[in-house]
Amino acid sequence: MKAFHDLTELPTPSLILDRSRLLRNVARMQARAQALKVQLRPHLKTAKSARVAELAHNGTKGPVTVSTLAEAAYFARHGFRDITYAVPIGPQKLDQVAALMRAGGDPASVDLKIITDHPAVAQAIADKGRELGVAFRVLIKIDCGLGRAGIPPDSDLLLPLAGILAGDPAQPGSRLAGVLTHAGHSYNATGIAEIERIAEEERLAAVTAATRLRAAGFACDIVSVGSTPTALFAKSLDGVTEMRPGNYVFFDLFQAALGTCRMEDVAVSVLAAVVAHHPGRNHFLIDAGGLALSKDTGANKHAPGTGYGRVCRPGDALPLPGLSVYDVHQEHGLVGGPLTPDGKQAEPVDFAGHAPGSRLRVLPNHVCMTGAMYDRYFVIDPARNSGQPGGGPEIVAEWDRVNGW
Amino acid sequence: MKAFHDLTELPTPSLILDRSRLLRNVARMQARAQALKVQLRPHLKTAKSARVAELAHNGTKGPVTVSTLAEAAYFARHGFRDITYAVPIGPQKLDQVAALMRAGGDPASVDLKIITDHPAVAQAIADKGRELGVAFRVLIKIDCGLGRAGIPPDSDLLLPLAGILAGDPAQPGSRLAGVLTHAGHSYNATGIAEIERIAEEERLAAVTAATRLRAAGFACDIVSVGSTPTALFAKSLDGVTEMRPGNYVFFDLFQAALGTCRMEDVAVSVLAAVVAHHPGRNHFLIDAGGLALSKDTGANKHAPGTGYGRVCRPGDALPLPGLSVYDVHQEHGLVGGPLTPDGKQAEPVDFAGHAPGSRLRVLPNHVCMTGAMYDRYFVIDPARNSGQPGGGPEIVAEWDRVNGW
């Protein structure tokens, strides 16, 4: 593989990871987990990288959360043994789950936990486990207000679900591992005070369900919560055993708009190049469009004018005032000033400062979606300058990602 | 590689390509090109597949359009020799373009054409060509009303650009190959009559620019237009030499909403499985979310309630009345009835007909974006039933795709 020395040598678009920002972000969350006295089980749906997962655990192969079985297989292959697949399992995936648990020949070599909220799926899990001679470890998915997946903590389904999953002790096809919830609605919060309130709702939902299960005689070892906003601002996680934030390793413009990070914490960006100037339309074109940046526009809810990303000089990755990618086509990004309410750009664009062929970096609106288009990170360390004129930070590593399903 | 017999055996999500619909679509566009007496140069940014490109040309390796240099390299590797890279070239990509032109050792082995609309880029092309001893073939990008890239056909820049690109005949670093325009604003049309009008604007813009160039003594061999809507409904392409539609090979819900195809023409879908039921929230969950379907919501402009895709039985891929993927998270799709103006679902969902583990197919909102998440197509032929109970159509092939940059 060709090695690249600095940002001037990379193809465009490329995905850039700032190691110093990443290290600061993972240290911040490690400190949070210690202060809250819970296990950190980072959700690797954002990073999809074994190297990032290890850094999130101070160099160890600690507990991880995944969003696909492709991720589960990848992390198992990289030596991670304690994995939770935190999307409701479809019965058609159980053979593959069992195969992953047995990876390496040992039936318990990978502790791959799955989740459900449906009695028919729970029964299918228990039956399939007995058929295959494995005991699937299952968490019951609790809804704490997001309204996406899970049963409410006071649901009449909770104990019947537990009964099915706890199964027949003599021949268990499944075991109840605990409860899991996710306060994704914290992303709609309008300030830190509201995030704190949602974090408490999240804690309470998980603990309420766990308390009901234990009162009915079921074991409930794992009480799992977590989103990046609530993990950063929860005042207490009493009764919770672990948290699963994911986005925090990189952050993005959505998180900055929400107030959970600063612009200088956003660790991933897209390197792009200017390809055309259109002064009559007050925009220039870059070679990063809807595929390179994603079409996610969520951050605009909190920060109008964010568009599909904010534009930065390659050397510092701090947003240039008044410049955003305000529209995208498949491989075209249109860069101009934020739009006024009537759809016009407010400020004239600095064309002289962005000659065709010059490079810039785009901070992503939603990094989980943007990252998924790339098979690798080019890792930079801003403290190590390449020494080339205009080269900026040196590329210190290439890290792979696991995409697809 | 494991071979799959039918849709019940595939992992979910997977990308499904209906060969019979594809063949009908490519035949329709071949007939259009013949009737309009222009060369068809399909834009492979949609399919990113050599097999689809060959079918679009009746089994031959005819002229193609690409949106990335990764696609250019892929099609060159598969024997395609006449390639146009239809995104404005950044000067930093010229070394790579020259390397692709020389693939196989022959300086002219791949006729890879590039485009620009900027005098400084044109000069960089001419200079780089002389430096490397190649003559880049360049088309001038014309704007016909989309307002994304290109100069207007009456621009004062047209002849100076041609002058730079035509270069020094004694030592040419570049050659002027022609003009190219794209009526992407046809996607905003409100009916076929408006598409016809935009098609005529597109034709006129390209022909006007070509006429001005020729009147000034420049060669202008290629006069290139094309988008799927205008290619299907142009009444005349007099003066045009080629058209570059891309989406038509597959079509999608956007095109169906625009009126350029029927639902039963949409050739690509995402196979997904039901993973949870939430009757209290009137939705069920599928294992295809924002990554598997993309976050593109463009079709809703023409067909409110389309959401992120329409849901179909696996066997026929025709939308079930009242069911769409109305919200997505990274790996979750929420399926319910189309939303009413106050954000509620209008009709109760048929849970009994969609048991957990059961499969369905989702027609994509915008297939160019959806396809980009998959590395292969599972190709089905509905005329060949697998013979398995519930198996539906047989999988007759796996075709690769070229993603990334």
Residue of A nearest to B8 (CA): A92
- What is the predicted pLDDT for the residue at A345? 63
How far lies A6's CA from each of A9, A287, A361, B368, in Å? 6, 19, 13, 32
Residues A59-73 pLDDT 10s = 999 999 999 999 999
Q: Closest partner residue to A273 among B90, B149, B373, by Cβ?
A: B90
pLDDT over 70, % of chain A: 95
pLDDT tens, residue by residue, B95-108: 999 999 987 666 55
* Model confidence band, residue A340 (pLDDT cutoffs 50, 70, 90): low
Residue among A148, A329, A359 whose CB faces B184 most closely: A329
Domain boundary among B213, B243, B273: B243
Task: pLDDT band for B342, please (50, 70, 90 cuts).
Answer: low
CA A283, CA B149: separation in Å to the nearest integer? 10
Using CB atoms, pick whichever of A45, A90, A403 lies closest to residue B287: A90
State whether B330 and A368 contact (CB < 8 Å): yes
Minimum mean pLDDT range among A1-5, B313-317, B356-360: A1-5
Domain co-membership, B235 together with B324: no
According to the model, what pLDDT value does residue B225 have? 98
Distance CA(B131)–CA(B123), nearest Å, equals 12
pLDDT digits (tens, 9 = 90+) for A7-49: 999 999 999 999 999 999 999 999 999 999 999 999 999 999 9
Per-residue confidence (pLDDT) for residue A299, from 0 to 100: 94
Please determine, for residue B146, whether its predicted confidence score (pLDDT) is greater than 60: yes
Question: How is residue B252 annotated by DSSP?
Answer: -
Both A168 and A235 in one domain: the answer is: yes
Q: Which of B329, B354, B369 to mutate to test the interface with A (most CBs of A within 10 A)?
A: B329
**Interchain pair A117, B13: CB under 8 A:** no
- Tell me whether residues A120 and B356 touch, CB distance under 8 A: yes
Q: Inspect the interface and report whether the beta carbons of B329 and A116 lie closer than 8 Å.
A: no
pLDDT above 90 as % of chain B: 86
Nearest 5°: CA angle at A319, between A383 and A18? Answer: 30
Residue A43 has what pLDDT?
A: 98
Nearest to B92 among A149, A273, A329 (CB): A273
On chain B, the residues whose CB falls within 8 A of the CB of A357 are 90-92, 121, 124
The reply to whether B142 and B175 lie within a common domain is yes
pTM of the model: 0.96
pLDDT in tens, A190-216: 999 999 999 999 999 999 999 999 999
Mutation site, A7, A97, A326, A330, interface B, largest B CB count within 10 A? A330
Report CB contact under 8 Å: B404, A375: yes
Average pLDDT, chain B: 94
Per-residue pLDDT at A338 exceeds 80: no
Residue of B271, B291, B325, B373 for testing the chain A interface, max A β-carbons within 10 Å:
B291
Q: CA-CA distance, B80 to B111, in Å (whole number)? A: 9
pLDDT of residue A341 exceeding 60, the answer is yes
H/E segment holding residue B27: helix B19-36
Give yes or no: residues B306 and B359 share one domain: yes
Q: Which of A231-245, A385-399, B84-98 has the lowest mean pLDDT?
A: A385-399
Here the tokens at position A70 are: 């492709």
pLDDT of residue A126: 97
Residue A388 has pLDDT above 80, yes or no: no
Shared-domain flag, residues A80 and A137: yes
pLDDT tens digits, residue range A364-381? 999 999 999 999 999 999
The tens digit of pLDDT for each residue in A137-184 reads 999 999 999 888 999 999 999 999 999 999 888 889 999 999 999 999
Which of B91, B117, B275 is opposite residue A89, by nearest beta carbon?
A: B275
Task: Measure B273 CA to nearest chain A CA, in Å.
Answer: 7
CA distances from A188 to A230, A341, B212, B277, B308 (A): 12, 22, 55, 24, 20
Give domain status of residue B249, yes or no.
no
Q: Does A184 sit within 8 Å of B331, measured CB to CB? A: no
Q: How confident is the model at residue A265 (pLDDT cuts 50, 70, 90)?
A: very high
Would residue B210 count as lying in a domain?
yes
**A268 and A136 assigned to the same domain:** no
In whole angstroms, give the CA distance from residue B347 to residue B322. 7
Provide the CATH number for the domain around residue A285: 2.40.37.20
Pair A165, A273 in one domain:
no
- Residues on chain A touching B299 (C-beta within 8 angstroms): none
CA within 13 Å, CB half, A22: 23
- Statement to judge: residues B270 and B387 lie in one domain: yes
With CA atoms as reference, the chain A residue closest to B328 would be: A148
Same domain, A125 and A206: yes
Q: Report the pLDDT value the prediction gives residue B387, as an integer from 0 to 100.
A: 76
For residue B258, give both structure tokens. Answer: 């625009």
Q: What is the pLDDT of residue B148?
A: 86
User: B362 lies in which domain range?
Assistant: 263-400
Q: Quick one: pLDDT at residue A229? A: 97
Question: A24 in a domain, yes or no?
Answer: no
Is residue A255 included in any domain, yes or no? no
What pLDDT band is residue B31 in, cutting at 50, 70 and 90?
Answer: very high
How far does B238 lie from chain A, in Å, by closest CA?
Answer: 28
B243, B272, B298 - which closes a domain: B243
Residues of A in contact with B92 (CB under 8 A): 12, 273, 357, 359
Q: How far apart are CA B175 and CA B177, in angstroms?
A: 6
Of A118, A290, A403, Cβ closest to residue B356: A118
Position B16 pLDDT exceeds 80: yes
In the structure encoding, which two tokens stand for residue B238, read together? 């007099």
pLDDT at B299: 94
Residues in chain A: 405
DSSP A56: H
Q: Which residues of A touch B244 (CB under 8 A)?
A: none
Query: Residue B312 above 60 pLDDT?
Result: yes
Would you say residue A8 lies in a domain?
no
| Tens digit of each residue's pLDDT (9 = 90 or more) over B224-279 | 999 999 999 999 999 999 999 999 999 999 999 999 999 999 999 999 999 999 98
Q: Tokens at residue A151, please?
A: 């049963």
Same domain flag for A332 and A238: no
**Angstrom distance (rounded) from CA A62 to CA A45:** 16
Dihedral sign of CA atoms A201, A205, A208, A210 in order: negative
Residue A258 resides in a domain: no
**Among chain B residues, CA nearest to A329:** B148
For residue B347, the one-letter residue type is E
Residue A36 lies in a domain: no
Asked whether residue B224 is assigned to any structural domain, the reply reads yes
Q: Which of B182, B208, B243 is the last residue of a domain?
A: B243
The CATH number linked to A221 is 3.20.20.10
Average pLDDT for chain A:
94
- Nearest-by-CA chain B residue for A143: B278
* Interchain CB contacts (distance < 8 Å): A and B: 151
Alpha helices in A216-321 (DSSP H): 228-233, 253-258, 290-293
Same domain, yes or no, for B299 and B374? yes
Asked if the Cβ–Cβ distance from A329 to B404 is below 8 Å, we say no
Domains identified in chain B, total number:
2
Quick one: B84 and B197 in the same domain?
A: yes
Query: Hey, are the CB atoms on B121 and A356 less than 8 Å from each other?
Result: yes
The per-residue pLDDT for B316 is 87
With cut-offs at 50, 70 and 90, classify the pLDDT of residue B1: very low
Query: Is B45 in Cβ contact with A273 (below 8 Å)?
Result: no
CA distance B360 to chain A (A): 13
